[in-house]
């Protein structure tokens, strides 16, 4: 099936919100539903790469060429029913060099647009660093939609203003950029977490999705085994939450096929 390619930026500038595991698991659920999915790991920490079982990626397999030399994106790896362009620590150096290059925040967009024209994917998910640097800006200028994973904790509430300001700024140069959803993560049964949920509902209204329950054993095991949630019997409850978040995402981006 061919059609529109939707490019989704997974963004939160604070660490610990589950951004990378959300990227992995939403991608895997989309693939289970028959969508053609590409994940692009833009974080030099390469957590998405290793959490999908890839431990030996080389710089040439990353977006480095696209960012440095306007090269096409490399041929992706095939992992767990998805395609993956992995990351490597060398992207930290690329981030520093970009500051001295012309069009330093628009280079990835050219490579992403080439994929759109090829109609190879239904969804491209961009896992950017938890920072506001030029790699993140490249991702924001390439995307159609933003998914913001946000912790059910005071840290998440405190991050909200910065997230919204950053998205507004990127929307000035990428006028088509829209928020698909704020997905609450790390939910537990504490008073503080429930208070944060109430605050998020008041601030975000129908842009809110989730929550995703904190399940350290389930998510930790998946990371250790280099796989998405959904391939272990103990994953059932987490997988139901992922499926519900995916339902919301599809609705928000207008994909009811």
Please compute the mean of the pLDDT values over residues 83-88 and round it to a whole number. 98
Tens digit of each residue's pLDDT (9 = 90 or more) over 208-247: 999 999 999 999 999 999 999 998 899 999 999 999 999 9
Tens digit of each residue's pLDDT (9 = 90 or more) over 142-167: 999 999 999 999 999 998 999 999 99
Question: What is the model's pTM?
Answer: 0.95
154 CA to centre of own chain: 22
In-domain check, residue 173: yes
Tens digit of each residue's pLDDT (9 = 90 or more) over 19-61: 999 999 999 999 999 999 999 999 999 999 999 999 999 999 9
Domain count of the chain? 1
At residue 257, does pLDDT exceed 80?
no
Instruction: Answer for the pair 141, 173: CB distance below 8 angstroms, yes or no.
Output: yes
Residue 71 in tokens: 């090269």
171 Cβ neighbours under 8 A, 6+ residues apart = 177
Please compute the mean of the pLDDT values over residues 247-255 and round it to a whole number. 96
At residue 138, does pLDDT exceed 80?
yes
Instruction: Return phi, psi of residue 85, to 5°.
Output: -100, 110
Tens digit of each residue's pLDDT (9 = 90 or more) over 174-204: 999 999 999 999 999 999 999 999 999 999 9
Mean pLDDT over each residue of the chain, to the nearest integer: 94
In-domain check, residue 1: no
Tokens 């950053």, residue located = 166
In-domain check, residue 78: yes
Model pLDDT, residue 1: 36
Q: Range of 47's domain?
A: 6-252
According to DSSP, residue 16 is labeled T
Q: How confident is the model at residue 2 (pLDDT cuts 50, 70, 90)?
A: very low
Distances (CA, A) of 216 to 54, 187, 191: 22, 11, 19
In-domain check, residue 103: yes
Share above pLDDT 90 across residues of the chain, in percent, rounded to a whole number: 91
CATH of the domain at 43: 3.40.50.300
Q: How confident is the model at residue 16 (pLDDT cuts 50, 70, 90)?
A: confident
In-domain check, residue 257: no
């Amino acid at each position: 099936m061919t059609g529109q390619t939707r490019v989704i930026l997974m963004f939160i500038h604070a660490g610990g919100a589950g951004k990378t595991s959300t990227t992995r698991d939403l991608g895997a659920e989309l693939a289970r539903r028959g969508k053609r999915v590409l994940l692009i790991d833009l974080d030099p920490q390469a957590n998405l790469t290793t959490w999908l079982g890839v431990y030996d990626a080389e710089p040439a397999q990353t977006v480095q060429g696209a960012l440095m030399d306007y090269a096409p994106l490399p041929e992706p790896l095939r992992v767990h029913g998805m395609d993956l362009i992995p990351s490597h620590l060398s992207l930290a150096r690329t981030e520093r060099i970009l500051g001295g290059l012309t069009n330093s925040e628009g280079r990835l967009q050219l490579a992403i647009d080439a994929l759109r024209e090829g109609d190879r994917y239904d969804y491209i998910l961009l896992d950017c660093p938890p920072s506001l640097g030029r790699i993140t800006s490249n991702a924001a200028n390439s995307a159609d939609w933003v998914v913001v994973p946000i912790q059910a904790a005071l840290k998440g509430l405190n991050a909200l203003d910065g997230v919204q300001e950053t998205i507004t700024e990127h929307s000035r140069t990428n006028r088509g950029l829209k928020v698909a959803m704020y997905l609450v993560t790390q939910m537990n049964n504490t008073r503080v977490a429930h208070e944060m949920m109430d605050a998020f509902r008041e601030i975000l209204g129908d842009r809110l999705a989730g929550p995703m329950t904190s399940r350290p054993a389930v998510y930790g095991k998946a990371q250790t085994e280099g796989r998405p949630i959904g391939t272990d019997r103990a994953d059932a409850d987490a997988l139901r939450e992922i499926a519900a978040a995916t339902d919301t995402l599809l609705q928000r981006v207008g994909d009811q096929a």
